[in-house]
Amino acid sequence: MLGKLLDFKQEGNRVSFRFEKGEGSLTPLKETVFRVFSGDSTIPSKAVEKTEHEAGKALCTEVCREEGGVRVSTRCMSALVGDDFSVDFYWADGSPVCREYRGERTLSKGLGEEERELMAGEGHFLAEEKKRHKIEVLKAIEGDECFYGLGDKTGFLNKRHYAYDMWNTDNPDPQVDSFRALYKSIPFFMARTDRGDYGIFFDTTYKSVFDMGKESRDYYYFAADEGNLDYYFIGGDTLPEILTEYTALTGRAPLPQLWTLGYHQSRWSYKTEEEVQYIGNMLRKLRVPCDSIHLDIDYMERYKVFTWDKERFPDPKRLLSHLGEEGFKIVTIIDPGVKVEEGYPLYEEGMKKGYFVTAPSGETYVNAVWPGDSVFPDFGNPQVRAWWARQQKLLTSAGVRGVWNDMNEPATFRGEIPGDIVFSDEGQKADHTRMHNAYGHLMAKATYEGLKEADGRRPFVITRACYAGTQKYSTAWTGDNHSIWAHLQMAVPQLCNLSLSGMPFVGTDIAGFGSDATPELLLRWVETGCFSPLFRNHCCLSAVRQEPWAFGKDVLDIYRSYVELRYTLIPYYYDLFREEEQTGRPILRPLVFHYEKDPETWETNDQFLIGDRLLAAPVLQQGVRRRVVYLPEGTWYDFWKGEAIEGKRAILQEAPLDTCPLYVKAGSILPRWPVQQYVGEKEIRELILDIYPGEGSCLHYRDDGESFGYREGAYAEYRFEVESSGRFTAELLHAGYTPYESLLLRCRGKEIRLSLSGEGKAEAKLW
């Protein structure tokens, strides 16, 4: 690519290199984090806004020439930069962790024209021919690497031997393992290796390719045809350490409003005021706890964003206030496409101000989405974002509490937007090729900022399209899955990989979006989905009804019990979100996240951890009533029966239709609340602590559950500890919010009620 390395220069932490055919730089941002860059430094990063990494600190301990290149060392690692801007990374003791692959790519000739035509005749999907890219980084596969992350790709947890494209794509066909792209582009992965772990974040919004050892067993590569060579290398001993650094770079999901952790009921569509009220009444009558009902596109007037259909929703404010009294928060969908229609104020204003993307000729670009002919806001322009942000007021003034951003890949019905359509990039002129993958990200950012301004509380945004860093603004769901067992199975690795890509607040459409759910699928899906941070049942226009009561009383009773379980665990989820905001550790974690020394966990696709204390092993196949569960090292307790089970082995677990196998790690303290029909229904003065014998400790966090006051100290934080002797201690560490009046300790059938002393301490003997 860049040819021979000629010379180098060090300025502070940045070391720049001159090659025969260009220049590049390598900058340590921390002892274990390096940025490798070559290209146009004026292109703004969409992911890295501000980082915790301080530029002030001198990090390079040595920069010197040696055989093979220039070595840049920090206290913990070194990078050896050579010809063609190859970069090898080593630990401080000189052992390699990730080296460039120095051979050529194996580009086979592929099929001839005639053969391609023959296959295309039967409608076979033909992958693109292998080709060289302008930017191509090949790294060696040197052992038993497993690759995790890469956003919401289909297939399994370990991405080794698969190849993907980063190009936000709305493809409604049932998603299968061979899909190369879905709605989100998060060009970040982590590698677990016996030489130590590392992560690579290729910060480009241009279409990129990640071939994780599909083309060759000897190397993997990431590549793009445009944009910069701009990647961050993060070394570490464990996956959690790497994720902490990645999220220090791209940001963390802020603590959400508490109610957003409750249950959400949705369907395309609850079409009228009466229908929405009916859904609310049913949920309350049948006592299925629920915090939110979502309104899909039909609440709008002919799919015009930021309007209400006056016939079907004559008085949204009244409806939402009435539902609000019953504890329901309403979330409305907003798509980016603005209907072309004279007299529609949003369209007219946007046209007047030049806020929509244009053809190179300057003419506004038109494609079709739900409303027919539509134009597309230029979200890369900060003024357009501010304008879009202001529109949220139409919703918040009616009482809307969250905004769901859809179709923001952007999806278009008359073919993809051509690459040369003109977009802005923070004051620079750019095109669709550059801005496509950032479009949903920037829309979510505008929505977040608008809600924050209009409502003041922590914004609740859901988005379908994402880029790296979208977690700062929005939660996400995995888009249009189907009501098929394969998609319930896929949900586990997909949500785990999103979590490992820095997106912690995620969920799937429970029971599936397209196709028709069956009673058994609905149950197994809620038994799995009740653990996902975003807990929403949603389906499409043509699907059979899949509300909790749709299949009769027996199904309803089981469904309800899992929604209730989730409500009792909300304080645990909230603690996990607090931890996530501080460390980047996600809520859902694949087993490998905490047990990576154990090869049994590297490819676990059908079990997951919630934080570090709970392990769920849902049934993901029709007709199955028992399954094999792998429990990692240590002692585990069966959540339902309480019996202790020694780990580091597989067990055979009975799992009748009403049971999701669930286990708690010995020494866990699980904070719980009583069941409520919605968050805030009851005033909670007592915290329940379920304690599982062993040794352990945890922090517990509480605040008003909605404002940003916690950032000024308006929260209470406790530390709880249990020792192997059975001694339990509690301490109030921070008293910026009303503390609980009492703690109810529950352990092996015994209950002890405790109150904290004046110094905020308490202790008890549990066994």
Closest CA to 426 of 417, 440, 438, 410: 438
In the complex, the smallest distance separating the C-beta of residue 298 from ligand GLC, rounded to whole angstroms, is 8
Closest CA to 548 of 539, 540, 538, 556: 556
Place of tokens 């029709």: 622
In the complex, the smallest distance separating the C-beta of residue 170 from ligand GLC, rounded to whole angstroms, is 7
Which of 232, 268, 572, 701 touches ligand GLC by CB under 6 A? 268
For 333-368, give the DSSP string: EE-S-EE--TT-HHHHHHHHHT-B-B-TTSPBP-EE
H-helix or E-strand spanning residue 332: strand 329-334
Which residue's CB is nearer to ligand GLC, number 234 or number 465? 465
Amino acid identity, position 250: T
Which residue's CB is nearer to ligand GLC, number 510 or number 540? 540
Size of the site for ligand GLC (CB under 6 A): 11
Beta strands (DSSP E) in 617-666 are 626-631, 635-638, 644-646, 649-654, 662-665
Which residue's CB is nearer to ligand GLC, number 230 or number 296? 296
For 709, phi and psi rounded to 5 degrees? -55, -30
In the complex, the smallest distance separating the C-beta of residue 506 from ligand GLC, rounded to whole angstroms, is 14
CB atoms within 10 A of CB 652: 9
In the complex, the smallest distance separating the C-beta of residue 518 from ligand GLC, rounded to whole angstroms, is 20
The answer to whether 443 and 405 are in contact (CB under 8 A) is yes
Which residue's CB is nearer to ligand GLC, number 268 or number 439? 268
CA 295 to chain centre: 22
Which residue's CB is nearer to ligand GLC, number 297 or number 496? 297
The answer to whether 632 and 596 are in contact (CB under 8 A) is no
User: Could you tell me if residue 693 is left (phi over 0), alpha (psi between -120 and 50 degrees) or otherwise beta?
Assistant: beta
Which residue's CB is nearer to ligand GLC, number 434 or number 536? 536
In the complex, the smallest distance separating the C-beta of residue 446 from ligand GLC, rounded to whole angstroms, is 19
646 vs 632: CA distance, rounded Å: 9
* Per-residue tokens: 163: 């190849």
365 vs 431: CA distance, rounded Å: 12
In the complex, the smallest distance separating the C-beta of residue 171 from ligand GLC, rounded to whole angstroms, is 11
Is residue 303 part of the contact set for ligand GLC (CB under 6 A)? no
In the complex, the smallest distance separating the C-beta of residue 515 from ligand GLC, rounded to whole angstroms, is 13
The answer to whether 657 and 525 are in contact (CB under 8 A) is no
Which residue's CB is nearer to ligand GLC, number 514 or number 739? 514
Q: With the C-alpha atoms ordered 113, 119, 123, 125, is the resulting torsion angle positive or negative?
A: negative
495 vs 502: CA distance, rounded Å: 11
CB atoms within 10 A of CB 59: 22
Which residue's CB is nearer to ligand GLC, number 162 or number 513? 513
CB atoms within 10 A of CB 289: 22
503-542 binders of ligand GLC (CB under 6 A): 513, 538, 540
Half-sphere exposure of 713 (CA within 13 A, CB side): 4
SS3 content of the chain, % helix, strand, coil (to 5): 20, 30, 45
Catalytic residue positions, numbered: 406, 409, 480
Partners of residue 762 on adjacent β-strands: 730
Q: What distance, in Å, lies between the first and last C-alpha atoms of the chain?
A: 67
Site string for ligand GLC, 374-413 (x = CB under 6 A): --------------------------------x-------
Which of 97, 191, 333, 369 touches ligand GLC by CB under 6 A? 333
155 vs 677: CA distance, rounded Å: 36
* Per-residue tokens: 9: 């220069």
342-371 binders of ligand GLC (CB under 6 A): none
Which residue's CB is nearer to ligand GLC, number 147 or number 370? 370
Which residue's CB is nearer to ligand GLC, number 476 or number 754? 476
467-486 binders of ligand GLC (CB under 6 A): 479-480
Is residue 296 part of the contact set for ligand GLC (CB under 6 A)? yes
Largest Cα span, the chain: 84
In the complex, the smallest distance separating the C-beta of residue 407 from ligand GLC, rounded to whole angstroms, is 6
In the complex, the smallest distance separating the C-beta of residue 509 from ligand GLC, rounded to whole angstroms, is 7
Is residue 270 part of the contact set for ligand GLC (CB under 6 A)? no
Is residue 297 part of the contact set for ligand GLC (CB under 6 A)? yes
452 vs 708: CA distance, rounded Å: 10
In the complex, the smallest distance separating the C-beta of residue 297 from ligand GLC, rounded to whole angstroms, is 4
Binding site for ligand GLC (CB under 6 A): 268, 296-297, 333, 406, 464, 479-480, 513, 538, 540
